[in-house]
Structure 1
Amino acid sequence: MKTIIVATDFSPAATNAAHYAAEMAVAINAKLFLLHVYQIPVAYLEVPVVLNEDEMREEADKKLIQLKNELDIKTGDKLNFETEIRMGVFFQELKELCEKVQPYAVVMGSQGTTATERLFFGGHAVYAMKHLTWPLITVPPEVKFNAIKKIGLACDFDKVIDTTPVEEIKLLVKDFNAQLHVLNTGKQKVFNPNIIFESGLLQEMLAELKPNYHFTTNSNTDEGIIDFSERNHLDLLLVLPKRHGLIDTLVHKSHTKQLVLHSHVPVMALHQ
């Protein structure tokens, strides 16, 4: 049975992502695994603060039960659940669980609603999207799951055989019976025969999915992708971080972080 892991810090944005994941799990008959990771904070105060780990865990356990009950009601008790609370570093604990569970996907909120949530959980989302090798979906605040009928793939047509996770893309498109739209994000200003060659290879690799192909003329890659997503009413946008360095660009240029942190469309990172 497929498993979707939901990483939550119980913030409104993370809870919204959990509701999104629950509806997705029902759509593909998957189990939902709720994960909460907490850390004992280091307090730099003149008067030492006593932090009771048992109390922190007890509080987290109550919130996890409450979230599970909410999702049970939302889905009409159609879901199988597992839950786990871990103490440690968020990414390491998430990675360890993924190695154990081998999830279909991991789902997180793309950002929090408060400044603190945006700093901490938004940072977790970007870091995980760069480094987690399992499929990761970041869900924007307020986005609800209806159906995934249109999936977009941002691609720069460079070394497509070595770097495109074709089987994962095929599985995703077939599971949701979706249309695939491939966007060429390359910025070639002159004729490049290699792009034509790579384009032909990708068309052959994805032929059974019968995708629609598009290109952007926007010199700013992320703006072009966002515009494409909105104009085509995409339900899910696929990016391939290890391949074209898109996520690296996002983290180092504050204005392009908007694609992941402020996108109106859920973004899914697939690693080859």
Structure 2
Amino acid sequence: MKKFLVPTDFSDTSKNAAKFAAQVAAGVKDANIILYNVSDKIAAGSDGSLLTETDDDRAIVLGTALQNLKTEIQPFAGGTSIDCVLETGSSLVENMERYVRHYHIDMVIMGITGATRLEQIFMGSNTLNMVNTGLCPVLIVPPECTFRQIKNVVLASDLKEVATTTPVEPIKSVLDIFKPTLHIVNVDHEHYVAVTDEYKAEINVLEKMLADYKPEFFFIRQYDFLEAISQYALDKNIDLIIIVPKKNSFLGGLFKTSHTKKLAYHSHIPIVAIHE
């Protein structure tokens, strides 16, 4: 069974991500969606005022909201089972980490917003912090992104030490969900007319690692990764981008955390982030 954890705060962005998750799961045999909400316990008023809401009251309201969201997305999920989980805690990401570990979640699917810098700080941090845990693939659904069948997937690769830095099994688990045409794209401003022998050696290794998916390799000579990958996605009708953020990258492209953030906030195409 494929288990998809879908956190929601009942915002339009998170509801859209839940609908997207339902449509993904509809195409997966034996899938399960877990709609997930974490709520703080209610503390006493600092000014001594009486509280009119109790923890039980809040649990009832949030539980009802989860059930309503389940009802809303069920028509898009086919026969996929949808569960609702409500937990208390002070940190969404810490709660999710425990849940992912304990229940062996295959993928987290969540939205991200970030039209302004403040939205990026306050609303996007949970998504990127979940990516940084490296526990499982995180599918990031841009605001207002609508689902379409995922036929063409880009895997962005720096083609550096791929044998030790490529998280092969998590990548395969994502590809097995969609069974797409796989494009492996490398963006580097130092590319010349011919691919170097070093790159050719790395290509051979990665091609063997992902042989079941018959990858096609593409090289783009350009400084700006975001611009390059966005244009490639448009030209090739790409439906999903897979990125592998690196913790200690010395490269100047996508693989720095700041560039990963930029892609996550500005892409109109869903992204799956899989840590090395």
Shared fold (TM-score, shorter chain, > 0.5)? yes
Q: Does the 8 Å CA contact 1:95/1:132 hold for their aligned counterparts? A: no
Q: State whether residues 246 and 256 of structure 2, in contact with CA within 8 Å, keep that contact through their aligned partners in structure 1.
A: no
8 Å CA contact retained: 1:112, 1:121: yes
AA aligned to 2:219 is F
Deviation string 1:74-133 (CA, Å, 9 cap, x unpaired) is 335x12122211111111100101001212211000227898765433111111122232
Name the structure 2 match of 1:143. Answer: 145
Asked whether the equivalents of residues 5 and 33 of structure 1 are also in contact (C-alpha less than 8 Å), the reply is yes
Partner Cα separation in structure 2 for residue 66 and residue 244 of structure 1? 43
Alignment of 1:10-159 (within 5 A): 10-29=10-29, 30-40=31-41, 50=51, 52-76=54-78, 78-88=79-89, 89-111=91-113, 119-159=121-161
Assess, with a 3 A threshold, how the Cα gap between structure 1 residues 130 and 185 changes in structure 2: closer, same or farther: farther
Residue pair 1:35, 1:84 contacting (<8 A) in 2 also: yes
Aligned in 2, Cα 1:231/1:39: closer, same or farther, shift over 3 Å? farther
AA matched with 1:155: S
Residue 9 of structure 2: aligned partner: 9
Question: Per the alignment, do residues 174 and 247 of structure 1 end up closer, same or farther by CA in structure 2, a change over 3 Å counting?
Answer: same
Equivalent pair of 1:250/1:259 in contact (CA under 8 Å): no
1:224 paired residue among 216, 228, 231: 228
SS at match of 1:3: strand
Does the residue aligned with 1:106 lie in a helix, a strand or coil?
A: strand
| Equivalent residue, structure 2, for 1:195 | 199
Question: Per the alignment, in what secondary structure is the counterpart of residue 174 of structure 1?
Answer: helix
- Opposite residue 188 of structure 1, the aligned amino acid is E
Asked if 1:270 corresponds to 2:271, the answer is no
The letter of the residue matching 2:198 is: N
* Larger mean Cα displacement after TM superposition, 185-194 or 165-174: 185-194
Counterpart position of 2:238: 234
**Structure 2 SS opposite 1:219:** coil
Structure-2 change in CA distance of 1:43 and 1:232 (3 Å): farther
Quote the residue 1:178 is aligned against. Answer: 180
Match of 2:165 among 160, 163, 166: 163
The count of residues paired between Structure 1 and Structure 2 equals 268
Q: 1: CA distance between counterparts of 2:142 and 2:156? A: 18
- How far apart are the structure 2 equivalents of 1:147 and 1:2? 18
Counterparts of 1:100 and 1:210, CA distance in 2: 34
Which secondary structure state, in structure 2, belongs to the residue aligned with residue 133 of structure 1? coil
**CA shift at 1:4, angstroms?**
0.7
**Residues 153, 183 of structure 1: 8 Å contact kept:** yes
| Distance of 1:48 and 1:115 partners within structure 2 | 35
* Offset of residue 142 of structure 1: 1.3
Which shows bigger deviation, 10-19 or 229-238? Answer: 229-238
Residues 130 and 242, structure 1, Cα contact 8 Å, conserved in 2 = no
Offset, 1:244: 7.1
Rounded Cα–Cα distance in structure 2 between residues aligned with 1:46 and 1:247: 48
**Secondary structure of the residue that 1:146 maps to in structure 2?**
coil
Q: CA RMSD in A?
A: 2.8
Are the equivalent residues in 2 in contact too, given 1:183–1:213 (CA < 8 A)?
A: yes
Amino acid at match of 2:183: H
Contact 1:6 1:18 in 2 (8 A): yes
> Partner letter of residue 182 of structure 1?
I
Structure 2 gaps, min length 5: none
Say which is worse superposed, 111-120 or 164-173, in terms of deviation.
111-120
Using the TM superposition, name which of 213-222 and 93-102 deviates more: 213-222
Other structure's SS at 2:246 match? helix
Taking the aligned partners of 1:148 and 1:189, their CA distance within structure 2 comes to 30
Output the TM-score relative to the length of structure 2.
0.85
Deviates more, 1:179-188 or 1:117-126: 117-126
Distance in 1 (CA, whole Å) between partners of 2:44 and 2:117 is: 20
Distance in 1 separating the partners of 2:185 and 2:233: 10
Letter in structure 2 aligned against 1:12:
D
Q: CA deviation at 1:15?
A: 0.3
When residues 113 and 23 of structure 1 are mapped into structure 2, their CA distance, relative to the original with a 3 A threshold, is farther
Question: What is the rounded CA distance, in whole Å, between the counterparts of 1:148 and 1:130 in structure 2?
Answer: 25
